[in-house]
Structure 1
Amino acid sequence: MPSVERDENRENRIETEIIVDTDNDKEERAMGWYYYLDDTLNVPFMAKLKKKSRKTGTVEEKEVEVLGMAPDDDCLKDMYVDVVYPGGKDEDIFTAKLSEIEPIDADDETNEAIADWHYWLARGYKF
């Protein structure tokens, strides 16, 4: 059962802009999402990385800077972004699931694209 109500505007955008012409092919759907997000996310932007601790089960929040999408080969099963902690160097860059990212100071287009991905997951959709 989906955890969010159906949003016709999002459904239309997903069907006509993101997964259009994918013919229910998992890899094509993943790449549709990848290229939509890669084109739409205006990086860099600050965000909260919300990750559930394996030990305690509590949600840990850390501020990160989102630098861009991870390589497309990494995004065939889920969407990932490259992030760094504030003040970090190139060698400190790591990958995070986009589902664990909550934008802090992103523009409207970026916020909408991330909300689209969160909606997709909350509705229980899969590639």
Structure 2
Amino acid sequence: MTGETDKERDERIRNEIIVDAYTADEMAISWCYHLERQMSFPFQARCIEERTISPLREDEEVPVVGMTDEVVSSREMFVLVEWRDREFGVPLSQLEVLDVDSDTRQAVNDWHYWNGDGGRLG
């Protein structure tokens, strides 16, 4: 994302991801479809913050194997991770991608930006 300004990111999000979304639910569905299309699974990720809704600890690495089957919340996107002997959903905002392709990195970085800023374009 060399040289990209927040304005450029805002434009891309507005014009490519949430272009026809008007409500919080529509935006959540648009984000879910976008992330599913842009991310290449599986990939490795590291937990960047502990959350009460997830058993992952900070700096723990896990394979991300897909998106969850449903949109759980309009404020969070959940991805499936393999952890110990099972798969379950954790918030994408809890994870930092490691060695991934540029589309996956950009999609996750855009989500972190959008989510961290409270979806201010909505």
TM-score by length of 1: 0.79
Change (3 A) 1:66 1:32: same
Kindly, what percent of the aligned residue pairs are identical? 35
1:30/1:77 contact within 8 Å kept:
yes
- TM-superposed CA distance for 1:53, in Å, is 6.4
Structure 1: where are the runs of 5+ without partners? 1-5
Residue 18 of structure 1 pairs with residue 17 of structure 2 = yes
Counterpart amino acid of 1:10?
A: R
Equivalence map 1:1-127=2 (5 Å): 7-23=6-22, 25-52=23-50, 60-85=58-83, 88-89=84-85, 92-125=86-119
1:48/1:103 contact within 8 Å kept:
yes
Instruction: Give me the whole-angstrom Cα distance separating, in 1, the residues matched to 2:79 and 2:96.
Output: 12
Larger Rg computed on CA atoms: 1
TM-score by length of 2: 0.82
Instruction: Give me the whole-angstrom Cα distance separating, in 2, the residues matched to 1:39 and 1:21.
Output: 17
CA RMSD of aligned residues (A): 2.0
2:36/2:67 contact within 8 Å kept:
yes
Counterpart amino acid of 1:63?
A: E
Change (3 A) 1:53 1:31: closer
1:53/1:60 contact within 8 Å kept:
no
CA offsets 1:47-88 (integer angstroms, 9 cap, x no match): 10233266xxxx622110000111123244410000013xx5
Structure 2: where are the runs of 5+ without partners? none
Higher mean alpha-carbon deviation, 44-53 vs 27-36, is at 44-53
Name the count of aligned residue pairs. 113
